[in-house]
Chains A and B, each alone.
Chain A
Amino acid sequence: MNKKLPVINNQNIDIPQDNPLQTIKPEEKQKTKQKHNPKIKLVLVVFIITIFLLILTLTIVTIKENSTNQLTTTTPTPKPFNPLPTITNIPDPQNQIPKEWQQEFEQIDKLIKSEKEFLPPQIDTTIGL
């Protein structure tokens, strides 16, 4: 008897959300009128950037020109050159040994430096356990 009526999602023009005519409040209308045109804003920004970049390029170019002019005009004054000893100039103690004794020393040196430790490999002794 008291059967519930099915809810139908019909458009109700009384609810502002469902109103197809998009009712705008008078306050909002005023707000939109006060807003600037975005295109004008964009042009203004671009204009400012252009001027800024132009000024920047002009300053860079002038600085560059000045520096190149300076380079060409000033001649470096010659300084006395003092050669510093390189690593190759350091005497090798092996070279200080007289030639007739060198061979014996080299032989002993080779023996001292030869590989001594030949340790066993790390293995698993428990394979199969």
Chain B
Amino acid sequence: MLALILLNFLLLISKPILANPSTTEPATITSPAPTRIPPTPTPTLSPYQQAKKDYLTQQQEYQQVYLEYVDKRETHTKYGTITTEKEKIEWTQKAIISRNNLLQKYLSALKVKLLEYSNSDPTNTKKNQIELEKWISWLKEQNIIVNSLNNSDDLFQNAKNFESKYNTIQKEIYTSIIQNQYNNHKQVLLELKNLATKIQNSNQIKTEGQNWTSDSFIKIDIANDSLNVALKETNQKQYGTKFNNFYPQAKKELNKANQYALEVFNNLKSIITKFYEKQ
């Protein structure tokens, strides 16, 4: 009874449903025309983008293999049987090979990236590329060696060797990163200098505006000095077994140069918008 009352209550409140006017046309069922999905054009990746993509794929594989290796290592520590040891050796080999492959892919991508603005400093850039290539070859060799190892002692020795070499690899990596950023900033500053000179000599810009460009040249020089300091940081000698990371210090100088470049860019933009006159 209560349910009936509630139903009545709801019917009273709700809006009346109006009937749709009947259509005279007979209902026809039409099958949807098959729509052709146009083939999506695959974007052509630049050599660096392709190399980076390969590196990221390898990174995923390494993470999976590494987790499995950690699991097997823990199982062996817990049970210490011959079977668990065998599995541990097998997965240690796999993890080392995967890690070396990841480093190879990363170094290859970095090597390609160095090409982007190599014109700014071709000699040093080439030197870095040769060094990177050397380490790529070394990692390839290591994978062949690791594949032939079948006991924990040999793997231990190999790991020790890798650990000592990795400091030098890191030095080469960060030197190349700094070199690449140096090249990029150099390119920016060169283009800004050319633009400032063009504005200074242009008839389309009022004399007042042309005078303002002199400040840009000073800033470009300061930025260039910062870039040279950043590059000098890479010559720091490595002492002991721990890697002495010079990147943060170099990054400070690179950021300074970037800040000056941005200032010059915005100043030139303001000059062109304020002092431009149509001929």
* In contact, B13 and A57 (Cβ under 8 angstroms): yes
CB-CB contacts of B198-223 with A at 8 A, as 1s and 0s?
10000010000000000000000000
| Contacting residues, chain B, for A128 (C-beta < 8 A) | 92, 96, 155-156, 158-159
Q: In the bound complex, what is the Cα–Cα distance between A97 and B265 (angstroms)? A: 13
Chain B residues whose C-beta falls within 8 Å of the C-beta of A70 in the assembled complex: none
Partner of B177, one of A93, A100, A101, A119: A119
Q: List 21 A-B contacts (CB under 8 A).
A: A50-B5, A53-B5, A56-B9, A61-B13, A96-B273, A105-B269, A105-B272, A108-B191, A111-B191, A112-B262, A116-B184, A118-B109, A120-B103, A120-B170, A121-B103, A121-B106, A127-B66, A127-B95, A127-B99, A128-B155, A128-B158
A112 to B62, CA, bound (A): 33
- B interface residue count range (under 10 / 10 to 19 / 20 to 34 / 35 or more): 35 or more
CB distance from A51 to the nearest CB of B (A): 10
Q: Mark B249-279, 1 if CB is under 8 A from A, else 0.
A: 0000010001001100100110011001000
Instruction: Give 13 new A-B contacts, CB below 8 A, not counting A116-B254, A125-B163, A127-B92.
Output: A46-B2, A57-B13, A98-B204, A98-B272, A105-B272, A112-B188, A114-B116, A123-B62, A124-B99, A126-B163, A127-B66, A127-B69, A127-B96
Interface string of B101-137 (1 = CB under 8 A from A): 0110010011001001000000000000000000000
A65 at the interface (CB under 8 A from B): no
* List of B residues within 8 angstroms of A121 by Cβ: 55, 59, 62, 102-103, 106
Partner of B156 from A96, A119, A129 at Cβ < 8 Å: A129
A108 contacts which chain B residues (CB < 8 A)?
188, 191-192, 195, 265
- Given A114-B184, A121-B102, A127-B99 in contact, is the A104-B195 Cβ separation under 8 Å? yes
Residue B160 at the chain A interface, CB threshold 8 Å: yes
For the complex, would chain B's binding face be called helix, strand, loop or mixed by DSSP majority?
helix
**A60 in contact (CB, < 8 A):** yes
B interface, CB within 8 angstroms of A: 1-2, 5-6, 8-9, 12-13, 52, 55, 59, 62, 66, 69, 92, 95-96, 99, 102-103, 106, 109-110, 113, 116, 155-156, 158-160, 162-163, 166, 170, 173, 177, 180-181, 184, 187-188, 191-192, 195, 198, 204, 254, 258, 261-262, 265, 268-269, 272-273, 276
A28 interface residue per 8 A CB criterion:
no
| Shortest Cβ distance from residue A37 to the other chain B in the assembled complex, whole angstroms | 18
The verdict on A75 contacting chain B, using a C-beta distance below 8 Å, is no
A109 within 8 A of B: yes
From known contacts A111-B184, A125-B166, infer whether A97 and B191 are also in contact, taking CB-CB under 8 Å: no
Contacts of A119 in B (CB 8 A): 177
**Contact in complex: A109, B184 (CB < 8 Å):** no
B102 touches A117 (CB 8 A): no
